[in-house]
Amino acid sequence: MRKMELERALNAFHSMKLTQITPPLTQMPILEENSSIINALKILRTRHHVWVVNDRKEMKLVGVIRYFDVFYILMPPKRARLGSISPLFKSIFGGAEKVGEIMERNVLTIEEDATILDALEKMRRYKVGILAVVDEEGRLKGEVSLRLLITEFLRLLRVGGEEWRQHGSSSQ
């Protein structure tokens, strides 16, 4: 693939709307905030995050639990320091039972009408690999991850008819 074709593909890719590539909600890891922590742990065995919504009917995004949050959930808490929120409150040892008690409430989101370039810029700015896609009322509509963006870009290149090969690559 020539450089011009690759640039044309990248421009087309950057201008695509997130709604064109986000997976259906049925394929996403989602729990209601009153779900058991055990349900979150079951999902986190195979996924890197769980989106938390107020309920499945309204789908208002209220939090996220990430894979590495499992440390706080399963480990005995350290002493709380004054002025800080202790992991104690996000621990089974601290009495937490529901997803809503352990989730991170500050979720990085992006609007559903944003472009792929908007998502890439936000991911780079905040050094994250995934964003929740929400509507103007904060309802979860999808997710966009770096893995999904890579897959979609490679798909776009294949649809163009040729596969791009790096110059100087040892693979033929």
| Tens-place pLDDT, residues 35-82 | 999 999 999 999 999 999 999 999 999 999 999 988 888 887 666 555
Instruction: Share the mean pLDDT of the chain.
Output: 86
Q: What is the reported pLDDT for 1?
A: 55
CATH number assigned to the domain covering 3-78+85-159: 3.10.580.10
Angle at 146 between CA 16 and CA 122, to 5 degrees: 70
145: β partners? 130
Q: Which residue has the higher pLDDT, 128 or 72?
A: 128
Could you tell me where the DSSP H helices lie in 23-106?
37-44, 70-74, 99-102
Instruction: Count the Cβ atoms, other than its own, within 10 Å of residue 71.
Output: 11
Q: Is the pLDDT of residue 170 over 50?
A: no
Angle at 9 between CA 8 and CA 13, to 5 degrees: 120
36/13 Cα distance (integer angstroms): 39
- What's the confidence (pLDDT) of residue 132? 98
Number of residues that make up the chain: 172
- State how far the Cα of 105 lies from the Cα of 102, in Å rounded to an integer: 9
Q: Are 60 and 137 in contact (CB under 8 A)?
A: yes
Share of the chain above pLDDT 90, in %: 64
Question: Average of pLDDT values for 87-100?
Answer: 75
